[in-house]
Chains A and B, each alone.
Chain A
Amino acid sequence: MIIGRWIQQFDQWLNRLTTGVSFHGGVHPAQHKLISTHQPIQTPPLADKLIISLTQHVGPASIPLVEVGQRVLGGELIARCAPPLGVPLHASTSGVIVDIGDYPTSHPSGLPGPCIVLQPDGLHELKVFQPKDRPNSVQSLKAILLHAGIIGMGGAGFPSFRKIANKAGQIHTLIVNAAECEPYITCDDMLMRERPHEIIEGALITAHALGATKVIIGIEDNKPEAALAMRQYRPMPESDTHIQVEVTVVPTIYPMGSANQLITQLTGNEIPSDAHSTDLGLVMFNVATLAAVYRAVIIGKPVMSRVVTVTGFAIDKPCNVEVPIGTPFEHLVNWAGLQTPHAPWLMGGPMMGTPIHHPQTPVIKTSNCILVNLPEPESETLPCIRCGACMDACPINLLPQQLYWHAKAEALDKLEALHLKDCIECGCCAYVCPSQIPLVQYYRHAKVAVKKDKAEKDAQQRAKQRHEAQLARKEQEAREKAERLAAKRAAMMAAEQAENTANEAPKELT
């Protein structure tokens, strides 16, 4: 056991020495980032219809506040949050609400979800925004994050106000996730090159409100322009000058941008499996999220648009675009030029992206990339040869090959013992697999099976407890009844006896 631990530490040390990476595993897929960084962030013409999904974030769907036929201004509240976990939604531009109903979404299932459809009038008339003071407390920051509809824009979609701790000073370091480790995607890169002020001011505002003393910006070394822009930016005089801002260039390796892996890279520590980063005094935000914080405070503007990378080898002019939330993917793909009509579309990168089944799927706050590549020939899957390449690639240090074995056998207890639930589905194992086994798919299935099994077992346990309680109650009742009966009988006997003695006594006397 101890030797195993030494070997692991030696491996980690060797890894850090040779590659500079502090976490285990990782892979180096082809980057293809340069194809979309030739041009600055573009603004394509408005789409005919904006389909604004009510389920962009993690949590319950937002509740529409508008009616069909109503005219709205850009930035106007169109759906309120479902408390306490949701976020509100705002109109991306001025126009008329033409429908509220189910439309295709980018959910992995491909099923339609509730949306508000806005027909832009082309005037882009905006609501009057009220700039806010830089928040001084966690509560005021939370209120701003909530009312501006800010969610994790790196792809997680977790409402930002739920992510931060409640007490000031609990967070000492704000980590800015600028790794952007997925191949092809460059929206964060371009945002850093062109708007470093939004990101760094956003970070300073957030750090100040949280009472944090340090901001660490982790950028992969394949983005030197972005790192330079971020380093050269000098904070505004009104920002909190006591906060130390550090731009750290980290090695390019997938999945560097995974929250826990980046934290390990920057701090050397791991997030305990049963804790959150906030428990260690750390909180992480993506660059686009912090730019949204900046706009929410300095301009008073909610999230209405985002930068999306439209790229891939089936696209004529791959580039980054800033588009209103709700813009259909088809509009952007056509604008950038589609070379191959039957190429499959992805939202996100090739490692963790989700397939897009419908061209009218709209951009949501977490859509960082539309990737259209030529279809790949179907690879044939060979049996696992137990080579262990997956284990060497796993950033969580799981044993993917054993997990695969047990997932196939549905050995759920074994899967739990091997910590299946810690799998982040990054796809490194499947990427390196020489037998081209779709490993992540097996884990997704197995996770559902484990969850279902657990729910069933819990239900069984509850039923058993209920049954036992019922039995115990019945027994208790029966016992009490018996006791009562016994007491009654005893009393009767005693009375009888007393009567008998009373009857007998005179006999004796006689």
Chain B
Amino acid sequence: MQSPIIHASPYDWGQQNVRKVMMQVQMAATPAMLVHVYFYGIGILVQIAIGLAIALSAEAVMLKLRNKPLKPYLTDWSVVLTTIDIVFCLPPTSPWWIVALASLFAVVVAKHLFGGLGYNIFNPAMTGYAFVLLSFPAVMTVWHLPHHLVAAPLDAWQTIQLIFTGQLPANVALDALTGATPLEAARTGILNGQGLSSIYANEIVFAGQSFATSQFWLSMTFLAGGLWLLYKGVIRWQMPVGFIATIALLATAFNLYDAERYASASFHLLSGATLFAAFFIITDPVTGSTTPSGRLYFGMGIGALVYIIRTWGGYADAIAFAVLMMNMLVPWIDAMTIPRVYGHGVSKATGSPNERH
């Protein structure tokens, strides 16, 4: 069908547009970014700069190749959002080519080869992230420790040097700066036959001013940003609620069954990218379900998969794989969850929606 003429009702348009939607999501992520800088240094800002440069160039080239106009698509800000989603998942001091490759793969393969904005089946950020996670697992599991766990944190210049050249200052060893994340530490500990209580007692990431502090504050800022997005109507409640509730329920059930082997709900919710995913990743509209109950099932599915992979699978965190797997089910979920249309399925005699006919 060719595009119909635009000169027909309605003649009034709302204030919302794609740019504004994308900007609002970025604004919601800004406090978390500041907290990130506070705990881990300026690494994330450098990563964003690299990611943006690569992603925007890739977007421009792909648009050119696809004969699409540059201006409206480059300025829709969706690329910026993809980059931010990737960067928050990466270790802040990972080498520059990691974020470059992830952004490139996200924009070129996940987005444009599937038809560009609005047509991609898989979440571009998670596709890019999964690509580097599977290709370079060693680099990806080395997480930079928060500065209060490090004797001599890197300054800005040293951070940039580390990201671009892999060079550390002469007197600093990589081991002193990095460690396993709490999720990773717990997983490895359990695999080695330790109980959770002893892991919590012995591993450095759980010590006093722990890693968890930084993750707690990060999680709280993600939560605040997410609630603001909900209030603004940019995201809908079903996805985060389904996701968080599923993880919390599964974690609580298994934790009650065996607290030594299965971590508590709060550990699962405040570790890794859980709350970031709840409000910023799984809420990507393009690749998520579009019906009200479908959104709930979509969130619940991701939550269940995240818990299963974290607990019994091969990866410490599993947001990316869970999201990609649920992305595949979206067309089916959408088809199965068509809402009741006005005047359908109501009592024929009274029109009451509560009595079915």
Contact = CB atoms under 8 A, between A and B. Distances in A.
Contact of A441 (B4, B293, B344, B349): B4
Interface residues of A, number: 79
A280 interface: yes
Contacts of B9: 350-354, 425, 427, 440
Given A272-B348, A350-B10, A397 B118 contact: no
Interface string A395-418: 111110110000110100000001
A3 B1 contact: no
B72 interface: yes
B17 interface: yes
Contact of B338 (A381, A418, A434): A418
A402 B18 contact: no
B339 interface: yes
A267 B1 CA distance: 40
A444 B6 CA distance: 12
Contact of B291 (A381, A387, A391): A391
Contact of B340 (A5, A442, A444, A449): A5
Interface string A159-182: 000000000000000000000000
A23 interface: yes
B10 A382 contact: no
B349 to A, nearest CB: 8
Interface stretch (A78-86, A140-148, A206-214, A372-380): A372-380
Contact of B341 (A385, A397, A431): A397
B8 interface: yes
Given A387-B285, A399-B290, A435-B18, A29 B1 contact: no
A387 B21 contact: yes
Interface range on chain B (Cβ under 8 Å from partner): 35 or more
Contacts, number: 191
A27 interface: yes
Nearest to B343: A273
B236 interface: yes
A2 to B, nearest CB: 10
Given A270-B343, A388-B236, A397-B340, A27 B14 contact: yes
Contacts of A438: 4, 6, 8
A7 interface: yes
B346 A385 contact: no
B30 interface: no
Interface in B1-38: 1, 3-14, 16-18, 20-21
A355 B347 CA distance: 39
Nearest to A269: B351
A351 B12 CA distance: 6
A389 B21 CA distance: 11
B119 interface: yes
Given A386-B286, A410-B1, A427-B9, A8 B292 contact: yes
A284 interface: no
A385 B286 contact: yes
A272 B16 contact: no
A397 B13 contact: no
A475 B102 CA distance: 72
Contacts of B213: none
A382 B117 CA distance: 9
A432 interface: yes
A427 B290 CA distance: 19
Contacts of A435: 17-18, 118
A445 B6 CA distance: 13
A456 interface: no
Contact of B337 (A4, A24, A269): A4
A8 B293 contact: yes
B21 A434 contact: yes
B333 to A, nearest CB: 11
Given A350-B12, A410-B1, A435-B18, 12 more contacts: A4-B293, A4-B340, A108-B8, A275-B348, A280-B349, A354-B9, A382-B76, A382-B117, A389-B16, A395-B342, A436-B13, A441-B6
Q: Which 4 A-B pairs have the closest CB atoms?
A: A427-B10, A383-B118, A269-B351, A4-B293
18 contacts: A4-B340, A8-B293, A260-B343, A270-B346, A272-B343, A272-B351, A351-B9, A353-B11, A378-B6, A382-B18, A383-B119, A388-B236, A425-B9, A431-B14, A434-B21, A440-B10, A441-B5, A444-B4
Interface of B: 1, 3-14, 16-18, 20-21, 72-73, 76, 78, 116-119, 233, 236, 238, 285-286, 288, 290-293, 295-296, 334, 337-344, 346-353, 357
